Amino acid sequence: QAGLTQPPSVSKDLRQTATLTCTGNSNNVGNEGAAWLQQHQGHPPKLLSYRNNNRPSGISERFSASRSGNTASLTITGLQPEDEGDYYCSAWDSTLSAWVFGGGTKLTVL
Amino acid sequence: QVQVVESGGGVVQPGRSLRLSCAASGFTFSSYPMHWVRRAPGKGLEWLAVILSDERKVFYADSVKGRFTISRDNSKNTLYLQMNNLRAEDAAVYYCVKEDDGFDIWGQGTMVTVSS
Protein backbone atom coordinates (compact mmCIF):
# COMPACT_ATOMS: atom_id res chain seq x y z
CA GLN A 1 0.00 0.00 0.00
CA ALA A 2 1.34 3.40 -0.94
CA GLY A 3 2.18 5.41 2.12
CA LEU A 4 2.57 9.11 2.70
CA THR A 5 5.90 10.82 1.98
CA GLN A 6 7.87 12.49 4.76
CA PRO A 7 11.50 13.66 4.77
CA PRO A 8 13.58 11.15 6.77
CA SER A 9 15.23 13.78 8.93
CA VAL A 10 15.11 17.44 9.92
CA SER A 11 17.61 19.28 12.14
CA LYS A 12 16.99 22.67 13.69
CA ASP A 13 18.54 24.81 16.40
CA LEU A 14 17.12 25.18 19.87
CA ARG A 15 14.32 27.79 20.06
CA GLN A 16 13.98 27.87 16.27
CA THR A 17 10.98 26.74 14.23
CA ALA A 18 10.71 23.43 12.40
CA THR A 19 8.18 22.62 9.70
CA LEU A 20 7.66 18.96 8.86
CA THR A 21 5.84 17.98 5.69
CA CYS A 22 3.72 15.02 4.63
CA THR A 23 2.69 14.51 1.03
CA GLY A 24 -0.13 12.25 -0.07
CA ASN A 25 -2.79 12.46 -2.73
CA SER A 26 -6.40 13.47 -3.22
CA ASN A 27 -7.62 10.16 -1.78
CA ASN A 28 -5.98 10.62 1.62
CA VAL A 29 -4.35 13.87 2.78
CA GLY A 30 -6.19 15.93 0.19
CA ASN A 31 -9.50 14.36 1.15
CA GLU A 32 -9.85 14.20 4.93
CA GLY A 33 -6.59 15.75 6.04
CA ALA A 34 -3.86 14.24 8.16
CA ALA A 35 -3.12 13.54 11.78
CA TRP A 36 0.30 13.93 13.38
CA LEU A 37 1.94 11.78 16.03
CA GLN A 38 5.16 12.06 18.00
CA GLN A 39 7.13 9.08 19.23
CA HIS A 40 10.05 9.10 21.61
CA GLN A 41 12.41 6.15 21.81
CA GLY A 42 10.94 3.37 23.91
CA HIS A 43 7.53 4.99 24.23
CA PRO A 44 4.25 4.64 22.35
CA PRO A 45 3.26 7.35 19.90
CA LYS A 46 1.33 10.39 21.09
CA LEU A 47 -1.33 12.18 19.08
CA LEU A 48 -0.41 15.82 18.40
CA SER A 49 -3.17 16.88 16.03
CA TYR A 50 -6.04 15.40 14.08
CA ARG A 51 -7.92 16.47 10.98
CA ASN A 52 -5.28 19.02 10.19
CA ASN A 53 -5.22 21.43 13.12
CA ASN A 54 -7.21 20.13 16.02
CA ARG A 55 -5.05 19.61 19.08
CA PRO A 56 -6.00 17.11 21.78
CA SER A 57 -6.12 18.57 25.26
CA GLY A 58 -2.69 18.84 26.84
CA ILE A 59 -0.81 19.35 23.59
CA SER A 60 1.25 22.52 23.53
CA GLU A 61 0.23 25.42 21.29
CA ARG A 62 3.78 25.27 19.94
CA PHE A 63 2.51 22.45 17.72
CA SER A 64 0.28 23.53 14.86
CA ALA A 65 -0.81 21.64 11.79
CA SER A 66 -2.11 22.76 8.43
CA ARG A 67 -2.81 21.45 4.96
CA SER A 68 -2.42 22.79 1.45
CA GLY A 69 -3.81 20.54 -1.22
CA ASN A 70 -2.30 17.09 -0.82
CA THR A 71 0.45 18.20 1.56
CA ALA A 72 0.06 18.42 5.33
CA SER A 73 2.50 20.30 7.54
CA LEU A 74 3.36 20.31 11.23
CA THR A 75 5.04 23.44 12.55
CA ILE A 76 6.82 23.36 15.88
CA THR A 77 7.82 26.74 17.27
CA GLY A 78 10.33 27.50 20.01
CA LEU A 79 12.05 24.12 19.68
CA GLN A 80 12.94 22.42 22.95
CA PRO A 81 15.23 19.44 23.61
CA GLU A 82 12.18 17.31 24.44
CA ASP A 83 10.83 17.87 20.93
CA GLU A 84 13.48 15.51 19.56
CA GLY A 85 11.92 12.31 18.31
CA ASP A 86 10.14 10.69 15.41
CA TYR A 87 7.12 12.36 13.85
CA TYR A 88 4.53 10.54 11.77
CA CYS A 89 1.61 11.69 9.70
CA SER A 90 -1.38 9.47 9.00
CA ALA A 91 -4.54 9.65 6.95
CA TRP A 92 -7.49 7.53 5.89
CA ASP A 93 -7.23 6.55 2.23
CA SER A 94 -10.70 6.33 0.74
CA THR A 95 -9.53 4.39 -2.32
CA LEU A 96 -7.55 1.79 -0.38
CA SER A 97 -10.08 1.68 2.47
CA ALA A 98 -7.09 1.70 4.76
CA TRP A 99 -5.15 4.01 6.98
CA VAL A 100 -1.72 4.99 5.71
CA PHE A 101 1.27 6.36 7.57
CA GLY A 102 4.21 8.38 6.41
CA GLY A 103 7.64 6.86 6.82
CA GLY A 104 8.37 9.24 9.68
CA THR A 105 10.68 12.22 10.17
CA LYS A 106 13.42 12.14 12.78
CA LEU A 107 13.67 15.60 14.32
CA THR A 108 16.96 16.62 15.87
CA VAL A 109 17.20 19.75 18.01
CA LEU A 110 20.75 21.11 17.90
CA GLN B 1 -8.08 6.49 33.64
CA VAL B 2 -8.45 5.76 29.96
CA GLN B 3 -6.04 3.03 28.94
CA VAL B 4 -5.45 0.02 26.75
CA VAL B 5 -3.07 -2.77 27.69
CA GLU B 6 -1.73 -5.28 25.19
CA SER B 7 -0.67 -8.83 25.96
CA GLY B 8 0.13 -12.04 24.17
CA GLY B 9 3.42 -11.19 22.48
CA GLY B 10 6.40 -13.49 22.56
CA VAL B 11 8.75 -15.59 20.48
CA VAL B 12 7.15 -17.71 17.77
CA GLN B 13 8.55 -19.81 14.94
CA PRO B 14 7.92 -18.86 11.31
CA GLY B 15 4.65 -20.27 10.04
CA ARG B 16 3.10 -20.50 13.49
CA SER B 17 0.26 -18.48 15.01
CA LEU B 18 -0.13 -16.04 17.85
CA ARG B 19 -3.09 -14.16 19.32
CA LEU B 20 -2.70 -10.72 20.81
CA SER B 21 -5.19 -9.25 23.24
CA CYS B 22 -5.87 -5.69 24.31
CA ALA B 23 -7.79 -4.92 27.49
CA ALA B 24 -9.52 -1.55 27.52
CA SER B 25 -10.65 0.42 30.53
CA GLY B 26 -11.78 3.90 31.50
CA PHE B 27 -14.00 4.48 28.47
CA THR B 28 -17.02 3.01 26.72
CA PHE B 29 -15.12 0.47 24.65
CA SER B 30 -18.09 -0.46 22.48
CA SER B 31 -18.42 3.10 21.17
CA TYR B 32 -15.07 3.42 19.42
CA PRO B 33 -13.22 1.97 16.45
CA MET B 34 -10.11 0.11 17.55
CA HIS B 35 -6.89 -0.46 15.61
CA TRP B 36 -3.71 -2.48 15.59
CA VAL B 37 -0.52 -0.70 14.54
CA ARG B 38 3.02 -2.07 14.62
CA ARG B 39 6.56 -0.79 14.49
CA ALA B 40 9.26 -3.16 13.31
CA PRO B 41 12.87 -2.61 14.44
CA GLY B 42 14.47 0.19 12.49
CA LYS B 43 11.24 0.98 10.65
CA GLY B 44 8.30 3.32 10.97
CA LEU B 45 4.74 2.84 12.11
CA GLU B 46 2.59 0.51 10.04
CA TRP B 47 -1.17 0.42 10.32
CA LEU B 48 -2.54 -3.12 10.27
CA ALA B 49 -6.27 -3.26 10.86
CA VAL B 50 -9.34 -1.53 12.27
CA ILE B 51 -12.61 -2.85 13.59
CA LEU B 52 -15.54 -0.51 13.92
CA SER B 53 -17.59 -0.24 17.07
CA ASP B 54 -20.36 -2.58 15.91
CA GLU B 55 -17.89 -5.50 15.60
CA ARG B 56 -18.88 -6.14 12.02
CA LYS B 57 -16.94 -3.80 9.77
CA VAL B 58 -13.22 -4.46 9.48
CA PHE B 59 -10.45 -3.21 7.22
CA TYR B 60 -6.91 -4.52 6.75
CA ALA B 61 -3.58 -3.46 5.32
CA ASP B 62 -2.61 -5.46 2.26
CA SER B 63 0.48 -6.75 4.08
CA VAL B 64 -1.63 -8.76 6.54
CA LYS B 65 -4.86 -9.37 4.67
CA GLY B 66 -5.70 -13.07 4.72
CA ARG B 67 -3.23 -13.85 7.53
CA PHE B 68 -4.36 -11.58 10.39
CA THR B 69 -7.86 -11.26 11.84
CA ILE B 70 -8.99 -8.42 14.05
CA SER B 71 -11.93 -8.96 16.37
CA ARG B 72 -13.43 -7.53 19.52
CA ASP B 73 -15.62 -8.64 22.37
CA ASN B 74 -17.49 -5.61 23.58
CA SER B 75 -18.86 -7.55 26.55
CA LYS B 76 -15.29 -8.08 27.75
CA ASN B 77 -13.87 -4.70 26.64
CA THR B 78 -11.22 -6.59 24.73
CA LEU B 79 -9.66 -6.32 21.28
CA TYR B 80 -7.87 -9.21 19.59
CA LEU B 81 -5.47 -9.81 16.74
CA GLN B 82 -5.15 -13.37 15.50
CA MET B 83 -1.92 -13.69 13.54
CA ASN B 84 -1.42 -16.78 11.40
CA ASN B 85 1.45 -17.96 9.21
CA LEU B 86 3.86 -15.54 10.83
CA ARG B 87 6.90 -14.39 8.91
CA ALA B 88 10.22 -12.90 9.95
CA GLU B 89 9.02 -9.51 8.73
CA ASP B 90 6.12 -9.60 11.19
CA ALA B 91 8.54 -9.13 14.08
CA ALA B 92 7.61 -5.83 15.71
CA VAL B 93 6.08 -4.07 18.66
CA TYR B 94 2.30 -4.29 18.26
CA TYR B 95 0.15 -1.46 19.55
CA CYS B 96 -3.53 -1.42 20.31
CA VAL B 97 -5.01 2.00 19.53
CA LYS B 98 -8.32 3.65 20.30
CA GLU B 99 -9.69 5.99 17.68
CA ASP B 100 -11.53 9.14 18.65
CA ASP B 101 -10.70 12.01 16.35
CA GLY B 102 -7.41 10.39 15.49
CA PHE B 103 -5.39 7.68 17.17
CA ASP B 104 -5.84 9.18 20.60
CA ILE B 105 -5.00 6.38 23.06
CA TRP B 106 -2.10 3.95 22.59
CA GLY B 107 -1.01 1.02 24.68
CA GLN B 108 2.60 0.40 25.66
CA GLY B 109 2.81 -2.31 23.03
CA THR B 110 3.62 -6.00 23.06
CA MET B 111 6.66 -7.39 21.27
CA VAL B 112 6.46 -10.21 18.78
CA THR B 113 9.64 -12.00 17.71
CA VAL B 114 9.54 -14.46 14.82
CA SER B 115 12.51 -16.77 14.91
CA SER B 116 13.31 -20.42 14.45
Pairing of strands A35-39, A46-49: antiparallel
Q: Least CB-CB distance to A104: which of B44, B102, B108?
A: B44
Task: State how far residue B115 is from chain A, nearest Cα, in angstroms.
Answer: 22
Tens digits of per-residue pLDDT, B39-59?
A: 999 999 999 999 998 878 999
Pairing of strands B18-25, A71-76: unpaired
CB atoms within 10 A of CB B116: 9
Closest by Cα among A1, A6, A71 to A37: A6
Q: Do B47 and A39 touch (CB under 8 A)?
A: no
Confidence band for B76, pLDDT divided at 50, 70 and 90: very high
Tens digits of per-residue pLDDT, B93-105?
A: 999 999 998 999 9
**What pLDDT shows up at residue A70?**
96
Percent of chain B with pLDDT over 90: 94
The answer, for A33 touching chain B at a CB cutoff of 8 Å, is no
Considering chain B, what is the average pLDDT of its residues? 96
Which residues 33-92 in chain B show a CB within 8 A of chain A?
A: 35, 37, 39, 44-47, 50, 59-63
Average pLDDT over residues B3-27: 97
**What pLDDT shows up at residue A2?**
62
**What pLDDT shows up at residue A59?**
94
Angstrom distance (rounded) from CA B68 to CA A31: 28
Average pLDDT over residues B79-107: 96
Q: Do A1 and B61 touch (CB under 8 A)?
A: yes
Tens digits of per-residue pLDDT, A57-82?
A: 899 999 999 999 999 999 999 999 99
Q: Do A104 and B104 touch (CB under 8 A)?
A: no
The answer, for A28 touching chain B at a CB cutoff of 8 Å, is no
CB atoms within 10 A of CB A70: 19
pLDDT at B88 over 90: yes
Q: Which residues of A touch B50 (CB under 8 A)?
A: 99
**What pLDDT shows up at residue A52?**
67
Residues in chain B: 116
**What pLDDT shows up at residue A1?**
59
Q: Which residues of B touch A98 (CB under 8 A)?
A: 47, 59-62
With CA atoms as reference, the chain A residue closest to B38 would be A44
The answer, for B103 touching chain A at a CB cutoff of 8 Å, is yes
Average pLDDT over residues A85-102: 95
Task: State how far residue B32 is from chain A, nearest Cα, in angstroms.
Answer: 16
**What pLDDT shows up at residue B21?**
98
Q: Tally the C-alpha atoms within 13 A of residue A84's C-alpha that lie toward its C-beta.
A: 10
Tens digits of per-residue pLDDT, A7-50?
A: 999 999 999 999 999 999 999 999 989 999 999 999 999 999 99
